Amino acid sequence: MSLDWISRAERLDALPPYVFARLDELKVRAREQGLDLIDLGMGNPDGAAPQPVIDAAIAALQNPHNHGYPPFEGTASFRQAITTWYQRCYGVELNPDSEALPLIGSKEGLGHLALAYVNPGDVVLVPTPSYPAHFRGPLIAGAKIHPIHLTAEQNWLIDLSTIPEAVAKQAKILYFNYPNNPTTATAPREFYEEVVKFARHYEILLVHDLCYAELAFDGYQPTSLLEIPGAKEIGIEFHTLSKTYNMAGWRVGFVVGNSDVIQGLRTLKTNLDYGIFSAIQKAAETALQLPDEYIQDVQQRYSTRRDFLIEGLGKLGWKISPSKATMYLWIKTPPGQGSTEFALDVLQQTGVVITPGNAFGEAGEGYVRISLIADCDRLGEVLRRFRQAGISYQ
């Protein structure tokens, strides 16, 4: 029932329409018709969390101390596990009390960070395409977004020289993310050095999203922003347990870096939430301590799927170079077809759900993202359906 005497807050009007809505509608209709949908739309890993993580959660549930409100700032042992993990993976020293904060998933933190730091009218630099929370959070806070256009020609790397001097001088925050969702691009260490230099010069807070830290293949090791000298003075970095550890539904992630900024985010969150259920923090702690073999298995799983799908799509006309990281393929739509049109066409003709690139911002137009969240049997079925329906790149 619609209420005519109350209107939504204006901050909601700032949000661009949700491209997924039409796709969702069609998904519902297809399911109602009994169609066997293959959903490669979201970045939602298939399968359960590792058994030691599940065991740790069950054990923690048996302890009555874990059932009350958790500490606002997260449990001391999870924060310690975070900083130990950072030391082991990147050789970066962090103070577990002031430079690490557990989050109810990194999306929560990315959004709330904007509420803690952005006043209406503040300029925030955000690449396009990008993960929606990187621009939707600032928009809710009333930011004036300056989009940085990423292009295939630049390997989807931010070209700082395209940012006008006047904009750089005004800008308060730069959100960025490598290995990148949705483009699968990776950034060399020199890129991070340049960004740190730029941010220090213009006094811009760097917000780096390293949520694909471990989903890297063929020996490639992603760089942490915090490895760069001086980065901690102007930057923070977000992580999630959703992807590597199949824990997307558990809602747990964390942020590390500059203690002032972390304190600001914590102050806001103290007024909005109570943090993460302690039993889940215990499980997350266990995940960060898993042996390297677990990570290698995950990497193997995704790179096998990547190679399988690249080969199959290759036979249908797509030339795709293997990405060094993430759990996606980012592919061009056939000439003459827009992102939304192509994604809807594929869904209607084959029951396969893929994401139109423009869901990640206007510069994603002309591309679609395919998540590698099904095993090779299912991906083989995707290719069969594509062949049957005549879906190809030509």
- CA-to-CA distance for 156 and 393, rounded, in angstroms? 21
214 binds ligand PLP (CB under 6 A): no
Segment near ligand PLP (CB under 6 A); pick from 84-92, 237-245, 279-287, 329-337: 237-245
Q: Which is nearer to ligand PLP, 181 or 350 (CB)?
A: 181
Q: Which is nearer to ligand PLP, 185 or 383 (CB)?
A: 185
Q: Which residue is nearest to ligand PLP (CB)?
A: 105
If binding is defined by CB under 6 A, does position 82 make contact with ligand PLP? no
Residues 317 to 346 in contact with ligand PLP, rule: CB under 6 A: none
Rank residues 107 and 266 by Cβ distance to ligand PLP and give the closer one: 107
User: 136: exposed, middle or buried (C-beta count within 10 Å: 0-12, 13-18, 19+)?
Assistant: buried
Q: Return the range that interacts with ligand PLP (CB under 6 A); candidates 74-82, 99-107, 287-295, 346-354.
A: 99-107
Binding status of residue 224 toward ligand PLP by CB under 6 A: no
- Which residue is associated with the tokens 């958790």? 70
**What is the 3 state secondary structure string of 338-366?**
CHHHHHHHHHHHHCEECEEHHHHCHHHCC
Interaction of residue 253 with ligand PLP, rule CB under 6 A: yes
Q: 179-190: b or e for each residue (b if 16 or more CB lie within 10 Å)?
A: bbbbbbbbbeee
Helix axes 292-315, 376-389, angle to 10 degrees: 10
DSSP state of 186: -
Residue closer to ligand PLP (CB basis): 44 or 349: 44
- Measure the CA–CA gap between 243 and 104, rounded to whole angstroms: 14
Q: Tell me if 242 contacts ligand PLP by CB under 6 A.
A: yes
Query: Which DSSP symbol is given to 16?
Result: P
What is the smallest separation between the CB atom of 229 and ligand PLP, expressed in angstroms? 25
| Single residue of 27, 40, 43, 303 touching ligand PLP by CB under 6 A | 43
Task: Kindly state whether residue 248 participates in binding ligand PLP, applying the rule CB under 6 A.
Answer: yes
**Stretch of 65-73, 103-111, 222-230, 314-322 lying at the interface with ligand PLP (CB under 6 A):** 103-111
- Closest to 390 (Cα-Cα) out of 352, 357, 333, 346: 346
Interface residue with ligand PLP, options 73, 122, 209, 237 (CB under 6 A): 209
Exactly one of 27, 79, 107, 208 binds ligand PLP (CB under 6 A); which one?
107
> DSSP string covering 131-147, please?
-THHHHHHHHTT-EEEE
Distance between CA atoms of residues 234 and 224, nearest Å: 14
Q: Residues interacting with ligand PLP, by CB under 6 A?
A: 43, 105-107, 131, 177, 181, 209, 211, 240, 242-243, 248, 253
